[in-house]
Structure 1
Amino acid sequence: MSFYISLSGLKAAQTDLSTISNNVANVSSTGFKKSRTEFGDIFAAAPMQTTNQVAGQGVRVQGVSQQFTQGTLEGTAKTLDLAIAGEGYFTVKGEDGTISYTRNGAFSVDEDRFAVDTTGSRIQVFAVDPNTGVPTTPVNGATTANLIDLQIPTTLNNDPAGAQLTSVGVSKEGLVSAVYADGSTVRLGQVAMASFNSQEGLRQEGDAHWTATVASGAPTLGTANAGLFGSVNSGMLERSNVDITDELVALIAAQRNFQANSKAIEAANTLTTTVVNMRT
């Protein structure tokens, strides 16, 4: 039995090593959230058996959970680099229409002047009045069907003869404004933020993107710097929340755990060999 107990420890330590290695590998990935391996002991006894005379039967991996703590904000001086200080996610739509959520705010414009992230997904915003910036649709109770793609025209009102774009600004509330050469300012949309009842229930999709699941619940949409949602910081990006020092210490501990279980198997093998060879 000791072989199988130590084998379960080896498998658990291997999973822990893989999780820590993934954290270390993504220490420079924008918007990445580190993971932690969670373990549980295995114990079984017959109904009439005295439990204080029964040893455990090993360990099992209960799950690998993500840690959605705030990452460090780093200045980039690029207007469309957005970082969230606090709770919430940017809402983006892929080329196939799939809605996902991200903390990676490295946005740029494509050939059609739509604001897209590093995967080519378009950031979703609430439509607003171009003069006042007030959303034209109710924010409370909104769904992803109420959102639109953010487009930043190079000329006023997309008129080829119109004034040229001179600058773009994004407020703490996520209101995107464009200033044109004739001095006019046009509000283009307000960044749609999403929150979830259970962040741990989100499904990882890679590239610091997540999709909603039954476990996470449906997204609650809103605007930045209000209620559940943090503020949007233009000209900044959120770094990975991985602390390399903590991870290297955890890596050493997981390695020692693996070695200890290997030694336990080696000791059990020595004892078994001694018993088998007693007749000779």
Structure 2
Amino acid sequence: MGFSQALSGLNSAATNLDVVGNNIANSQTVGFKGASTQFADVYTGALAGQGVRVAAVLQDFSNGTLESTGRNLDLAINGGGFFRFQQGEEIVYSRNGQLSLTADGYLENAQGARLTGFPAGVGTGGQPETLQVPAGAMPAVATTAVQASFQMDATADAIDRGTTPFDATDGDTYSYANTGTAYDSLGVQHTMTTYFTKTADNTWEVRVAVDGSADTTTGELVFDGNGVLDDGASTFANYSFTPGGGADAMNFGIDFDGTTQFGNGFAMDTLTQNGSAAGSLVGISFDETGNIIGNYSNEKSQMLGTIALANFRNPEGLEMAGDNAWVETGTSGQPLLGLAGEGQFGGLESGTIEKSNVDLTSELVDLIVAQRNYQANTQTIKVQDEVLQSAVNLR
């Protein structure tokens, strides 16, 4: 019985050495989770027992240290959850977010597994799919609304329209002018000029022209005695312009909310519009909730999809699949899908990787202990051999 006990100890110690050695070997593997060996005695009614066996090899899913890389496609989960990948026909889960963008726009890891997520704007209400960054350009958007706010100079002299007709080429026929940008349906940029003329106390005529057109649309801004715009008394019609070149006619209104009249001189506070030129994709970025943001040459951006994270009721039940990935099992339970930063899921960190959670110093100590355990069991075999040899030599 002594030989079988020692042999079981040797086998168990060898397994422990394998586990510790594997931890040490992967101490620099991104997203790796260390493991530990659990032992159990073997008892079948004998007084001394039958030895030892390996009861389980458990993985430690505690978080590793996050390290900044500065590489845009490196991702890490700051908290719970796993990245969900499709590798061939199999779904695997990993904490390694080192990604690359393929020629056809898929986000892949080093093993060719493709990152999965939800279509843009759908969230968890949709079905997860492999994420693909579209290569197409962002279409042009025609200007349909302009938001502007100005400071009108209350000390400016009034201009009598009866004696001084408006002339865009003559600065003496208006009080103040400012230019902005508008876009037609083909994304062609046009210069939008707004002319302000003080016609009476607290009353300003507004004219808008595009590309220096002689045709202008006229409105009126009326202020109260405190210099605040009176929306009810003010009027301004939509501006219409036919740009030519095959583009549709432009039609937009201007909202002057926030415009004031004080004795501080003329100034433009804000001027924004909702149109844009067409733009080519120049790069992608990720926010902390897992949204993939496409950045375009027209200085616009749009959401292209959302990374799906997964978690399990019992992560220790996951089965190792190699290449730093795991697959679900009946013990782990079914995956719970969600978005980064919500509930049990950690936030997403771009330009960051999660290092192995192996404590190298602790593992080296464990290695010494495991080695001594192995040597002790060999010593047991040696003693049993000596005892048996003594019995054989009896005369």
Q: Would you say same fold, with TM above 0.5?
A: yes
Contact 1:155 1:180 survives alignment (8 Å): no
Residue equivalent to 2:118: 126
Give distance in 1, aligned partners of 2:139 and 2:315: 39
Task: Identify, as 1 or 2, the structure richer in strand.
Answer: 2
Q: In the alignment, residue 32 of structure 1 is paired with which amino acid?
A: F
Give distance in 1, aligned partners of 2:124 and 2:57: 39
Residue equivalent to 1:28: 28
Of 137, 141, 144, which aligns to 1:156? 137
1:53-110 per-residue CA deviation (whole Å, 9 max, x = no partner) reads x22221011111111111111111111110011110011112x232111100001101
Give distance in 2, aligned partners of 1:162 and 1:272: 89
Residue equivalent to 2:98: 106
Residue equivalent to 1:132: none
Of 235, 238, 261, which aligns to 2:351? 235
Q: 2:336 matched to 1:220?
A: yes
Superposition TM-score, scaled by structure 2 size? 0.63
Residue equivalent to 1:93: 86
Q: In the alignment, residue 153 of structure 1 is paired with which amino acid?
A: P
Judged with a 3 Å threshold, the aligned counterparts in structure 2 of structure 1 residues 216 and 9 are, in CA distance, closer, same or farther, namely same
Query: Alignment RMSD, CA only?
Result: 1.8
Q: 2:371 matched to 1:255?
A: yes
Q: In the alignment, residue 105 of structure 2 is paired with which amino acid?
A: R
Alignment length (residue pairs): 259
Q: 2:180 matched to 1:64?
A: no
Q: In the alignment, residue 124 of structure 1 is paired with which amino acid?
A: T
Q: In the alignment, residue 17 of structure 1 is paired with which amino acid?
A: L
Give distance in 2, aligned partners of 1:70 and 1:158: 42
Q: In the alignment, residue 49 of structure 2 is paired with which amino acid?
A: G
Contact 2:123 2:306 survives alignment (8 Å): no
Alpha-carbon shift at residue 164 of structure 1 (Å): 2.2
Residue equivalent to 1:81: 74
Residue equivalent to 2:14: 14
Q: Determine which structure has more spread, i.e. the larger CA radius of gyration.
A: 2
Q: 2:390 matched to 1:274?
A: yes
Give distance in 2, aligned partners of 1:274 and 1:137: 74
Contact 1:155 1:162 survives alignment (8 Å): no
Q: In the alignment, residue 134 of structure 2 is paired with which amino acid?
A: P
Residue equivalent to 1:51: none
Contact 2:292 2:304 survives alignment (8 Å): yes
Contact 1:89 1:102 survives alignment (8 Å): yes
Contact 2:138 2:296 survives alignment (8 Å): no
Alpha-carbon shift at residue 259 of structure 1 (Å): 0.5
Matched position secondary structure for 1:216 = coil
Contact 1:85 1:231 survives alignment (8 Å): yes
Alpha-carbon shift at residue 158 of structure 1 (Å): 9.0
Give distance in 2, aligned partners of 1:123 and 1:222: 14
Contact 1:6 1:261 survives alignment (8 Å): yes
Give distance in 2, aligned partners of 1:176 and 1:120: 19
Give distance in 1, aligned partners of 2:356 and 2:89: 27
Of 146, 169, 190, which aligns to 2:285? 169
Contact 2:124 2:339 survives alignment (8 Å): no
1:99-158 per-residue CA deviation (whole Å, 9 max, x = no partner) reads 1111000011011011111111111111123xxxxx2661xxx6xxx1122222344249
Q: In the alignment, residue 259 of structure 1 is paired with which amino acid?
A: Q
Matched position secondary structure for 2:394 = coil
Give distance in 2, aligned partners of 1:137 and 1:254: 47
Residue equivalent to 1:147: 128
Give distance in 2, aligned partners of 1:253 and 1:149: 46
More divergent stretch after superposition (149-158 vs 263-272): 149-158
Unaligned runs of 5+ in 2: 141-276
Contact 2:138 2:280 survives alignment (8 Å): no
Judged with a 3 Å threshold, the aligned counterparts in structure 2 of structure 1 residues 137 and 195 are, in CA distance, closer, same or farther, namely closer
Judged with a 3 Å threshold, the aligned counterparts in structure 2 of structure 1 residues 204 and 137 are, in CA distance, closer, same or farther, namely closer
Contact 2:139 2:279 survives alignment (8 Å): no
Matched position secondary structure for 1:156 = coil
Matched position secondary structure for 1:179 = strand
Residue equivalent to 1:49: none
Give distance in 1, aligned partners of 2:137 and 2:37: 52
Unaligned runs of 5+ in 1: 47-53, 130-134
Alpha-carbon shift at residue 166 of structure 1 (Å): 3.0
